[in-house]
Amino acid sequence: MPQRIEFRIRRQDSPQAPPRWEEFSVPYRPNMNVISTLMEIQRNPVTRDGKRTSPPVWESNCLEEVCGACSMLINGRVRQACSALIDHLTQPIVLKPMSKFPVVRDLIVDRSRMFAALTRVRAWVPIDGTHALGAGPRVDPHGQERAYALSRCMTCGCCLEACPQVNARSDFMGAFVFAQVELHNMHPTGAMHAGERLEAVMGLGGIADCANAQNCVAVCPKEIPLTEAIAEVGRQTTKYMVRRFFWR
């Protein structure tokens, strides 16, 4: 069992600043994860060669893999830092910010494009209001299970990080957004407005930009059936286009 945990962390003071590497060595305790070791560095922000430094900054909140905040590259693989257990990682553990989003500082990136994409595809059920309108629609239990599988997306960004189609030269919104389109098109009320969402994914950066690499589904920490959702939304757009053609 190792006595210490060795870390290499990519630091960057600001979006414009050049990146640099710092190495840390933290005493080992059982059951540690990447977040608890970063916390240990906060309590003693000294590099491996004894130099005082500022504590590295990162984004995290729930620490139980439901909020989506702490995505980063850990030994080259995108995942949540809170559920990355030290005992399962080879050392030195290399931490980098996700590469497909602008770096804010150190391990923090700007994922606002994901929330903008949710707005663009109108990922909501347009209710008439919050006043009492009685019980909601009945839902068959199997449909509920499908909906729940899709609705666990925590907008963490792993699927964008892993996708070759998400890059500086493309507007591809990323796999997560199609799961949200399928989800809201399934809901009895949401289905009444499915066309608006399909129009949105037929535009720039939409469904046509998926090149079927299937990396997204491999890295999704919530095991969301992303490729199935892409296929389903693809089918829906095809049908929609045909219908739209004949309506004109």
Partner 1 sequence: MAQPRFIVVGGGLAGLMTTIKVCEAGYPVDLFSIVPVKRSHSVCAQGGINASVNVKGEGDSPQVHFYETVKGGDFLGNQPLAKGMCEAAPGIVFLLDRMGVPFNRTPEGNLDFRRFGGTLFSRTAFVGATTGQQMLYALDEQVRRYEAEGLVEKYEFWDFLSAVLDGEGVCRGIAAQDLRTMEIKAFPADAVCLATGGCGIIYGKSTNSMVCTGTAASAVYQQGAHYANGEFIQVHPTGIPGEDKLRLMSESARGEGGRIWVPRDGTPWYFLEEKYPKYGNLVPRDIASREIFHVCRVLKLGVDGKDVVYLDVSHIPRETLNRKLGGILEIYEKFAGDDPRKVPMKVFPCVHYSMGGLWIDYEADADGNPKVGNPRNHQTNIPGLFAAGEVDYEYHGANRLGANSLLSTFYAGMLCGPAMVSHATNLDRSASAVPSSVFEAERQRQQEMTEQICRMDGSENPYVIHKELGEIMTDNVTVVRYNENLQATDNAIRAFQERWRRTNIQDATRWANQAVPFTRALRNMLELARVITLGALRRDESRGAHYKPDFPERNDPQWLKTTKATWSPGGPVFSYDPVDSSLLKPELRKY
Tell me which H or E stretch contains 104.
strand 103-105
By CB under 8 A, residue 27 contacts partner 1: no
Distances from the Cα of 247 to the Cα of 165, 235, 242, 243, angstroms? 33, 18, 9, 6
Return the residue of 43, 168, 245, 247 that touches partner 1, per CB under 8 A: 43
82 is a contact residue toward partner 1 (CB under 8 A): yes
Amino acid at 184: H
Asked if residues 103 and 94 have their Cβ atoms less than 8 Å apart, the reply is no
H-helix or E-strand spanning residue 27: strand 20-27
Stretch that binds partner 1, among 93-101, 104-112, 196-204, 207-215 (CB under 8 A): 104-112
d(CA 78, CA 8): 16
Chosen residue from 20, 29, 51, 239 binding partner 1 by CB under 8 A: 29
Comparison of 76 and 137: residue with beta carbon closer to partner 1: 137
- Of 39 and 231, which CB lies nearer to partner 1 in the complex structure? 39
Q: Does 89 bind partner 1 (CB under 8 A)?
A: no
Closest CA to 155 of 41, 38, 71, 237: 71
Binding to partner 1, residues 145-184 (CB under 8 A):
145, 147-148, 151-152, 154-155, 183-184
Strand order in the sheet with 20-27: 20-27, 4-11, 93-96, 71-74, 77-80
x-or-dash pattern for partner 1, window 185-214, by CB under 8 A?
--x-xx------------------------
Q: Which stretch binds partner 1 (CB under 8 A): 133-141, 195-203, 209-217, 232-240?
A: 133-141
105 bridge partner residues: 108
CA distance 180 to 172: 15
User: What is the residue-wise DSSP string for 183-243?
Assistant: HHHHSTTGGGGHHHHHHHHTSTTSGGG-----HHHHH-TT---HHHHHHHHHHHHHHHHHH
Does 33 bind partner 1 (CB under 8 A)? Our answer is: yes
Confirm or reject binding of residue 55 to partner 1 (CB under 8 A): yes
The one segment of 135-143, 168-176, 205-213, 224-232 that binds partner 1 by CB under 8 A: 135-143
Compute the least distance from the CB of residue 23 to partner 1, in Å: 18
User: Which residues bind to partner 1, rule: CB under 8 A?
Assistant: 13-14, 29, 31-33, 35-36, 39, 42-45, 52, 54-55, 57, 59-69, 82-83, 85, 104-105, 108, 111, 115, 118-119, 122-127, 129-130, 132-141, 144-145, 147-148, 151-152, 154-155, 183-184, 187, 189-190
